[in-house]
């Protein structure tokens, strides 16, 4: 099964493509607060990521079906897009958190909510455990929407780590 078939048959993104591109490495390594990563590679009628972005980092859509396009130089890592995306396709990764750990700011809509300091399982796109992380913070940028869980985990997971599992 090729990458395109894998995405459309399983829903698992297997490579970078339009609407699912990582930030430029030279900018990403030095951006305090992190940069948004949007993994929304299909044309669907949805644009809350762009309409919620206060800096215009997620560019306005010319067509409601456009895939998101990001100007990473404008991103502040505020996570409003993370909390606004109904598809849970936006997250922020801060590579300046520490020498060996990144801070992953991920959408979370499950119960129970983790608590600060709690160990959680770091999952890849298929839901497989790839590491253990620590909850550093929990925010709810939009009080009526998704929580954003801030998890410290190894930097080498930036291409893989996309969700958490709370183990209580």
pLDDT for 6 equals 47
What is the reported pTM?
Answer: 0.89
* Higher pLDDT, residue 13 or 38: 38
Residue 64's pLDDT band, with cuts at 50, 70 and 90, is very high
Q: What is the mean pLDDT of residues 70-85?
A: 95
pLDDT tens, residue by residue, 18-28 = 667 789 988 98
- The proportion of the chain whose per-residue pLDDT surpasses 70, expressed as a percent, equals 89
Q: At a CB cut-off of 8 Å and minimum separation 6, what does 2 contact?
A: none
| Cβ-defined contacts of 137-144 (< 8 Å, 24+) | 138/113, 138/114, 139/79, 140/83, 141/78, 141/79, 141/80, 141/82, 141/83, 142/52, 142/80, 142/83, 142/84
Mean pLDDT, the chain, whole residue set: 89
What is the number of structural domains in the chain? Answer: 1
Range of the domain at 105: 3-166
Confirm if 39 and 106 have CB atoms less than 8 A apart.
no
Number of neighbours of residue 153 by Cβ within 10 angstroms:
24
Binned at pLDDT 50, 70 and 90, residue 43 comes out as: confident
pLDDT beyond 60 at 93: yes
Residue 9 has pLDDT above 60, yes or no: no
In this structure, of 37-41, 82-86, 99-103, 126-130, the range with the lowest mean pLDDT score is 37-41
């Amino acid at each position: 099964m090729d990458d395109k078939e894998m995405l459309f048959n399983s829903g698992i993104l297997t490579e970078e493509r339009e609407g699912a591109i990582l930030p430029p490495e030279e900018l990403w390594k030095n951006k305090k607060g992190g940069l948004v990563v949007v993994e929304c590679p299909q044309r669907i009628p949805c644009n809350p990521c762009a309409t919620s972005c206060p800096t215009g980092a997620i560019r306005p859509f010319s067509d409601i079906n456009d895939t998101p396009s990001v100007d990473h130089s404008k991103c502040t890592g505020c996570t409003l897009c993370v909390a606004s995306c109904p598809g849970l396709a936006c997250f922020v990764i801060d590579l300046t958190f520490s020498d060996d750990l990144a801070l992953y700011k991920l959408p979370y809509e499950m119960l129970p909510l983790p608590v600060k300091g709690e160990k959680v399982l770091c999952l890849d796109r298929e839901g497989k455990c790839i590491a253990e992380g620590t909850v550093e913070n929990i925010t709810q940028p939009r009080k009526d929407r998704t929580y954003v869980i801030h998890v410290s985990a190894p930097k080498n997971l930036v291409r893989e780590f996309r969700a958490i599992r709370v183990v209580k």
